[in-house]
Amino acid sequence: MELYKTNQIKVYNSLSKSKEIFKPIHEGNIGLYVCGPTVYSNVHLGNVRTFMSFDMIYRYFLHLGYKVRYVRNITDAGHLTDDDAEDKISTKARLEKLEPMEIVQKYTVDFHEILQEFNFLPPSIEPTATGHIVEQIEAIKQMLANGLAYESNGSVYFDVLKYNAEGGDYGILSKRNMEDVLSNTRQLDGQSEKKNPQDFALWKKASPEHIMRWPSPWSVGFPGWHLECTVMSTKYLGDNFDIHGGGMDLKFPHHECEIAQSKACNHTNPVNYWMHTNMLTLNGQKMSKSTGNSILPGEILSGDNDKLNKPFSASVVRFFCMQAHYRSILDFSSDALEASEKGYQKLMTAVDEIENLKTSESSSINIEAWKQQCYDAMNDDFNTPILIAHLFEGVKFINQIKEENETIIATDLALLKTTMYTFIYKVLGLENNSTAENGGENKLSGVVEMLIKMRRNARDNKDWALSDKIRDELLALGIQLKDGKDGTTFSVN
Ligand code: AMP
Ligand code: ZN
């Protein structure tokens, strides 16, 4: 039976600024579009966090039995954003003495490698902006025909004021009125071509130094950034689809413009649920390529960055990200990662123990109720920190059953195991480093666990001398035992 039929999900919709009950357009099917990276440099950890949040959401929908078409694009067309005088791909091509398409290829490959290292599921479709120039030109023609765009000196702009005068709702997503929009518009090249400063480019005539260019009815030029996502999302998911996601910084102008363009072309609201992830910060500032306040995923795996005390595995980084809700700001630091590493190890050590647990005639723990709490957390706008708190409740059960303070029947043990495995591996996408690549660490934890058991026996036999000897000699080796109410755990210093 499809689990989605028994699990009502609440999703925070940026459009209504509230949690709404999620109802897909076609029962059992979900159309999901997420804005992909601009491939002019390596993705930083902030980008990874956003893509990881949607990977988790995609994974959960799949687990519930939904058929999901997940479209995540590659922005490779070299358009200008409001802050730039020159497109970033061209600038990088000049700097690295490469063709723009070599830059695109290089950083697309880098992006895919990172996704693989961090255990992402691939999207169903990964379209590129340059592969959809024809569709973008067609959409511009439609907006011109509908009277909501105009040509000026070989460029084409969206007529924001006319769109709103004719019943449009520019500002609906970002909750900005025209004065707010105006005060955020910088006096840039091209302003003189526009009827009003609020208008945004659908097509730009290429200046002589602009390398990425295509012929069009208006000029040899390139499409506006916002247009590619309108065209690619609706091409693959339909004029009206379920979920559109991206980082919060894309809400305005990118997503605001997408709504206006879609309505101007198709006369329908494109997206039912807008989902926005919050930012990863470093030293309290948004992680960003352009300011250099960033850390690369590869640097975390190698430890090769001054901001890191040591290297960390991809799963520890995933666990760190999942410990925060996707709509909360998360501040990166080496210390925070170290804390996550300890939590992750505790979780995995317990998971490794499940197979060894003994069953009894009756259960003293209500596993069914606990499992429901795990689902409830995810159904409440994908609340991974609450889910993780419940998984640690599962860790407590495992340790208490191991210590024989609690009992469990075989069917409950099977349920405990599948629930832990489902959420840890399938939904959160964590990998068990102790069993996978890290055989050494696994052996070490096996040996320490064995010594913990020997110490427990010694204490049961009131052999305090042996018990203390095991503890002290492990400590001399840098392995500290901690006796808690859930049993004994250890940390390696
Ligand atoms: P870009 O390649 O700059 O278009 O960014 C790709 C995705 O990463 C977008 O959804 C951005 O909103 C998101 N993003 C950029 N910076 C951060 C950050 N510091 N934290 C989280 N997400 C970010
Ligand atoms: Zn986009």
Q: pLDDT, tens digit, for every residue of 238-279?
A: 999 999 999 999 999 999 999 999 999 999 999 999 999 999
Type of residue at 62? L
* pLDDT reported for residue 106: 95
- Return the residue whose CA atom lies nearest to atom 6 of ligand 1: 37
- Return the structure tokens found at 399: 């340790």
Mean pLDDT of all residues in 100-115? 95
Confidence check: pLDDT of 50 > 70:
yes
Q: Which of 38, 249, 293, 331 to mutate to test the pocket of ligand 1 (most atoms within 8 A of CB)?
A: 249
Instruction: Give the model's confidence band at 450: pLDDT under 50 very low, under 70 low, under 90 confident, else very high.
Output: confident
Pairing type for strands 271-277 and 280-282 reads unpaired
Helix 464-476 with 439-460: angle, nearest 10 deg: 160
Mean pLDDT of all residues in 6-12? 97
Instruction: Give the model's confidence band at 415: pLDDT under 50 very low, under 70 low, under 90 confident, else very high.
Output: very high
Secondary structure of residue 454 in the 3-state scheme: helix
Q: Return all residues near 388 (Cβ < 8 A) that are at least 6 apart.
A: 319, 322, 323, 343, 428
How far does the centroid of ligand 1 lie from the alpha carbon of residue 295, in Å? 13
Of 404, 405, 407, nearest to 360 by C-alpha is 407
Q: What is the DSSP string of 190-208?
A: TGGGSSSTT-EEEEEEPPT
Instruction: Give the model's confidence band at 163: pLDDT under 50 very low, under 70 low, under 90 confident, else very high.
Output: very high
Residues with CB under 5 A from ligand 2 (ion): 35, 229
- What is the number of other CB atoms lying within 10 angstroms of the CB of residue 38? 23
Instruction: Give the model's confidence band at 436: pLDDT under 50 very low, under 70 low, under 90 confident, else very high.
Output: very low
Q: What is the dihedral of CA 332, 335, 341, 346, to 10 degrees?
A: -130
- pTM over 0.75? The answer is yes
Confidence check: pLDDT of 186 > 80:
no
* Burial letters 314-350, b for 16+ CB under 10 A, else e: bbbbbbbbbbbbbbeebebebeebeebbebbbbbbbb
**How many Å apart are CA 108 and CA 19, to the nearest integer?**
34
Confidence check: pLDDT of 21 > 50:
yes
Pairing type for strands 285-286 and 280-282 reads antiparallel
Instruction: Give the model's confidence band at 440: pLDDT under 50 very low, under 70 low, under 90 confident, else very high.
Output: low
Share of the chain above pLDDT 70, in %: 94
How far does the centroid of ligand 2 lie from the alpha carbon of residue 447, in Å? 50
Of 120, 65, 70, 60, nearest to 379 by C-alpha is 60
Pairing type for strands 10-13 and 18-21 reads antiparallel
Q: How many residues does the chain have?
A: 493
* pLDDT reported for residue 308: 94
Lowest-confidence segment of 33-47, 158-172, 183-197, 250-264 by average pLDDT: 183-197
What's the mean pLDDT when you consider all of the chain?
93
Mean pLDDT of all residues in 312-333? 98
Atom of ligand 1 nearest to the CA of 36: 6
Count of alpha carbons within 13 angstroms of residue 384, beta-carbon side: 25
Atom of ligand 1 nearest to the CA of 245: 10
Mean pLDDT of all residues in 198-203? 96
Is the separation of the CB atoms in 128 and 76 below 8 Å? yes
Lowest-confidence segment of 73-87, 93-107, 214-228, 338-352 by average pLDDT: 73-87
- Return the structure tokens found at 117: 């290292």
Q: Return all residues near 348 (Cβ < 8 A) that are at least 6 apart.
A: 432, 433, 434
Ligand 1: residues with CB < 6 A are 35, 37-38, 46-47, 49-50, 246-247, 249-250, 277, 279-280, 286-288
Of 207 and 17, more confident: 17
How far does the centroid of ligand 2 lie from the alpha carbon of residue 430, in Å? 27
Q: Which domains does the chain possess? A: 11-277 (3.40.50.620), 281-492 (1.10.730)
The helix (H) or strand (E) run that includes residue 149 is strand 149-152
Confidence check: pLDDT of 350 > 50:
yes
Mean pLDDT of all residues in 226-237? 98
Is the separation of the CB atoms in 79 and 222 below 8 Å? yes
Highest mean pLDDT, choosing among 188-202, 240-254, 286-300: 240-254
* pLDDT reported for residue 189: 52
* pLDDT reported for residue 443: 66
* pLDDT reported for residue 442: 55
- Read off the pLDDT of residues 212-223 as tens digits, 9 standing for 90 and up: 999 999 999 999
Instruction: Give the model's confidence band at 178: pLDDT under 50 very low, under 70 low, under 90 confident, else very high.
Output: confident
- Return the structure tokens found at 459: 């204490």
Confidence check: pLDDT of 437 > 50:
no
* pLDDT reported for residue 188: 55
User: For residue 487, what are the β-bridge partners?
Assistant: 484
- Return the residue whose CA atom lies nearest to atom 12 of ligand 1: 247
How far does the centroid of ligand 2 lie from the alpha carbon of residue 36, in Å? 7
- Return the residue whose CA atom lies nearest to atom 7 of ligand 1: 47
